[in-house]
């Protein structure tokens, strides 16, 4: 009986789930709201920009509880992650120790070439794709050519609200 008890204890120890620790959260979206309560219609305590760090964030469902100006505030979990904002554009990429930065730069500018270069096909050939699937990289280029500059975006938002 004692031995069975020991086994149960051992099994229980293995199963003991680690307590949920507080984590550091980073704001990923352009801006995010800091709310007084975990509800979209709560009082807005402030705004946080991309890159803002909350050292002791505790996740509760879709909300992160953080400290803001000495009081509790809630931030949407959809706008934050536990790792710092990633930057992919060539101009933004910070230097990294293992030279990833250099590769990043070359990849960002060479992406259309990579896309065309997969399987060694030339751009035109890519339209005659394998397994009879039609592929249109020209249309993709046209799609990617439509851009929205930050100024255009601000103007668009400003014109809205009717």
* Contacts (CB under 8 A) with another protein, residues 127-156: 127, 129-131, 133-137, 139-140, 142-144, 146-148, 152-153, 156
| Count of residues near another protein by CB under 8 A | 72
Is 126 an interacting residue with respect to another protein (CB under 8 A)?
yes
Q: How far is the CB of 8 from another protein (least distance, A)?
A: 6
Tell me the C-alpha distance between 86 and 91, whole Å.
13
Helix (H, G, I), strand (E, B) or coil at 59: strand
Q: Where are the alpha helices (DSSP H) in 68-160?
A: 100-117, 137-145, 150-159
Region binding another protein by CB under 8 A among candidate stretches 52-60, 65-73, 97-105: 97-105
Tell me the C-alpha distance between 22 and 45, whole Å.
22
CA 5 to mean position of chain CA atoms: 47
Give 38 or 58: the residue with its C-beta nearer to another protein. Answer: 38
Is 113 an interacting residue with respect to another protein (CB under 8 A)?
no
Is 90 an interacting residue with respect to another protein (CB under 8 A)?
no
- Answer for which of 17, 34, 113, 121 binds another protein (CB under 8 A) is 17
Give 70 or 94: the residue with its C-beta nearer to another protein. Answer: 94
Contacts (Cβ under 8 Å, ≥6 apart) of 17? none
Q: Give all strands (DSSP E) within 11-162, no chain letters.
A: 23-27, 31-35, 44-49, 53-60, 63-68, 71-76, 80-81
Q: How far is the CB of 44 from another protein (least distance, A)?
A: 11
Q: How far is the CB of 67 from another protein (least distance, A)?
A: 20
Contact (CB, 8 A) for 39 and 61: no
Task: List binders of another protein among 43-72 (CB under 8 A).
Answer: 50, 62
């Amino acid at each position: 009986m004692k031995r069975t008890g020991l086994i149960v204890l051992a099994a229980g120890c293995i199963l003991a789930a680690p307590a949920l620790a507080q984590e550091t959260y980073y704001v990923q979206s352009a801006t995010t709201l800091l709310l007084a309560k975990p509800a979209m219609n709560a009082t807005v305590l402030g705004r946080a920009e991309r890159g803002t760090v909350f050292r002791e964030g505790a996740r509760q469902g879709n909300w992160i509880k953080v400290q803001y100006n000495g009081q509790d505030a809630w931030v949407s979990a959809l706008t934050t992650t536990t790792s710092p904002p990633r930057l992919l554009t060539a101009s933004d990429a910070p230097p990294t120790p293992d030279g990833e930065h250099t590769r990043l730069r070359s990849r960002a500018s060479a992406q259309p070439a990579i896309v065309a270069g997969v399987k060694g096909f030339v751009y035109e050939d890519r339209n005659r794709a394998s397994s009879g699937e039609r592929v249109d990289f020209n249309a993709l280029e046209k799609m990617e050519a439509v851009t929205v500059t930050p100024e255009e975006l601000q103007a668009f938002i400003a014109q809205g609200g009717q």
